[in-house]
Structure formats: C-alpha cells, structure tokens
Amino acid sequence: MKAPDISFPPLREDDLPLVQRWLNTPHVSEWWSLDGSHHPSLEEVSAKYSPRLTEKEPVDCYIIGFSNKPIGMIQACNLDDYPAEKKTFGVAGRCISIDLFIGEEDYVHRGLGADIIRCFLKDVVFADPAVDHAVIDPQVENIIAIRAYEKAGFKHMRTVWYEPDKVREAIMTISRDAIFPAKSVQSS
C-alpha cells in the first residue's frame, strides 16, 4: 500500500447510513459504541454525528478512503475542548485525540491501520503546527488496535479507568517529532 491510496474526505450527512452499517458490524461493535449502544440505529448515528457536521460539536470526522473506496471513519478533536478527558488522560500542551475504525470487513486485519493512522497524523493532525502531540485511548483488551497504534509510533503512557464508558483504556501518545523528525543540525 502506498500513501496516495489513502484519503480523508470530510464526513457528510449522506455518509451516515454507511457509518451506521459499519457501527453494527461485529468487528466494530465489539469496541465502539454510541452513548452505550453497540448497535445504534440510523437515528442514533444522526443524533451523534450531525452536530459534528454542522460544527456545533468540536469533533472533526472523516471517511477513511482507500483507493477511493470508503472503508472506515476517523475523527479528531482538540482535547482543550474536552477538559475532563484531557485531565483523565493526563496530557499537557496542544493535544489532538483521535479515534477510528475500519468498517469494511475485507480491509480488516490486512495491516492497513498503522499506515492509515500515520497518513492521518501527517496530513491532518500535525498539519497544524501548533499541535504538540496526539493521543488515542483503546480499551486495554483491544490488543489488535494497540499493536497497530504501536506500529504507527504511539507509545503507552498509562492505563486509566474511563468512567463514561466504564472501561480501562490504554492512553497512548505520539509527538510531532515522531511524524516529522527534526532535521539534524551539523556543526561547522
């Protein structure tokens, strides 16, 4: 897979039926829920994501495109907009939280996750020079996701109890330098 095969078009209202289908697939619903529902209706999906599409809620949502085919969803938010989560995660500085899933079963367990994440970090998250680092918070039992995040360059910071979802989460971070290494300075 090459990076040009990956794209991140913004999520649109007419994408919501596809997102709802993905959220109801077993490999996604095992780890992802909407306000506690692991099998959300289209109405629940619309209620959750429509405010994000109209910027009433500060979360940016994108479709994950692979060779122009929609295969999943990825979202990002500035943790300064969510101080309770930022405190729970224990991160400082300008930090963007990301979350994603690959909804199309044919694209799961093919090793795409790390490349998708690195492209998203490069093209979207760290395209803003004010962003210091990114964080992701998989459930500790989601070993496959954790391995993909480690392969993308995320490092485990700590494990926390996340009360809203009542789960233990592995807080993982990656710095801008991991994506854009500083050029070495040669002394003269």
At 89 the pLDDT is 80
What is the second-level CATH architecture of the domain 3-179?
A: 3-Layer(aba) Sandwich (3.40)
The Cα–Cα gap between 127 and 88 comes to: 26
The rounded average pLDDT for each run of 10 residues, N- to C-terminus, in the chain (188 residues) is 77 98 96 90 97 94 96 97 86 92 95 95 96 95 96 95 86 93 53
* Integer Cα distance of 128 and 71 in angstroms: 25
Q: What's this model's pTM, rounded to 2 decimal places?
A: 0.91
Find out whether 72 and 107 touch, Cβ atoms under 8 Å.
Answer: yes
Alpha-carbon dihedral of residues 143, 144, 147, 151, nearest 10 degrees?
-170
18 contacts: CB under 8 Å, gap ≥ 6? 70, 103
Q: What is the rounded distance in angstroms from the CA atom of residue 45 to the CA atom of residue 115?
A: 27
